[in-house]
Structure 1
Amino acid sequence: MLKSKTRRRVAVKTAAIAAACGGIFFGAVPAIASMVATPKTVTYSCTGSGTTAAYKVQVDITGPLTPTPNSTVVATWAVQQPTASPFFTAASAIPATERLVIDGDALVTSSPSIVPSELRTAAATAAAASVPAGATLQPLPMLITMTPTGTGVIAVQPGSFSLYLEPASGTGSASGGDLYVCDVAATAEASAAALLITVKPSGTSTGTGTPTPTTTGTGTSTPTTTPTTPAPTVTVTTTTTAEPTKTRQIGKTPGGGASTGGGGDAGPDARMIMLSGALMVAGAAIGGLVLRRRTATRG
């Protein structure tokens, strides 16, 4: 009876947290799994022994690294003692006929929807043992089990929890009632402490890739022969064309005297002609002077 009442109370309070931080959380979901390697501090408002105070609770949520679709995924949620006062302690001595129980609600979401998005209730019961007054209380970790239907990201975010006692026999009601009832006071811290699990498909494509290289190898040998055939053909053509070109140029050279500069054998030297012309001009000049003097003497 006590347990069901506690769950209803915690569920109502956690629902408000889920509505407030659902949008914040999904806005920060990365594409890879994030394992909470060390406990994260989450501020809770806890009521115990008639007083309410802020508790810096150490929250540690862990899970599998690479789960696959349709496999069982188990996330472990551990609520540990705060690093500084106040602590979770027994206000009065706990007899050996009682055992400590922790009951919590975690917000489970996924993208895409591969698991139901809901508040998941988890609980853990310690073995019956006597605890002296003032001693610290350490509850057992709670387990949250899920089965993803496909690939995607699953988020497990810590929510409210309560600590109470129940009889070791499992029947009857606890004498002390609730020891602590804790609600999340800092939603950003709870979101940062969430566990993100990436569900990946199992790789089974090895058999398909094996025959592909075999078929490709047969086709690869064919183009290897193709470039070899035109290569020698181009080389032979270039060599044969160059030789006749040089032979034609050499054969035409002896027949063209003008192109070799050999003009000296064609006739007399031009200097002789010029000298003869000069002598004729000089003779004509002298003859003209002689005739002029004779004419002057006669007159």
Structure 2
Amino acid sequence: MRIPAVVSVVFAGCLVLVCQPAHAAPLGMERVLHVAAEVVEYECTTDGVTEKQDVKINVDLTMPSNATAEQQMSIGWHGTYVTGSELRAPAADLTGVKLYAYAALTGIEDLTSATGVSEPLSVTAGQTIPLPETTVSMKTTSSKAGTARVRPAAVNIGPSSTAPVIECEVRDPAALTTYTLPVAQSSSHTSTSPTPDSTTASPKPTRTVTATVTAAAADENDLDQEFTARQEVDETPVGGAATGGGGEAGTDGRMYVLTGLVITLAACAGLLLRRRPRSG
């Protein structure tokens, strides 16, 4: 009885180790996962057809792990139809058309979209338009570093991106999940401090020469001023007050004043003598 009990215990332990819960995932799987899958609902309009088609596509976006500013990066696009919601060709055959896939980007200035194109497709009228089996590379370039937010955008069918035959627009863009895309700084923007150039420094002899030239200029100015002063003195006219000579110019006037005073006194004395009464 003891042997079967031991065997049952060992068997139960093996079941615990081997049969782990279905939701369990290997450690670190999320760190290597770069694919974002989501069902996107489109409203498709065909050129020349009034009726629109409702299409659902399982879209897988593969984010680049080394996106760098000023370098072209690629976001992978792969789609599969939800059963019963396929896109069908119009009444006329489609020959040589391509699928153009777009992604909308926000969060970085001047980075708004990424575009990818498939190999040419040939579709019989009224049949389901096949989606590319391989991943379509949507290419874009960011001029700046930062973190972009990515979500699926339009899908067009036509001979060129500017002449679509079928245009499929996302029915509710705000309902879609946005995925982050880090964009690293370009190495060309790494700035280095410029090394000072010793040859541009002003040598000491320059200051000595400047001082000498300044002194010479000062001496020359002094000589000019002295010459001007001498010239003004030599050219000053000799004469009366009208020429600026003043009391120091011409004959001394005090002699005339003194002579006139003597004559006046003599005249006064003569008058006094004539008025005295004669005696007897």
Fold in common (TM above 0.5): no
TM-score (norm 1): 0.41
Q: Which structure dedicates a bigger proportion of its chain to helix?
A: 1
TM-score (norm 2): 0.43
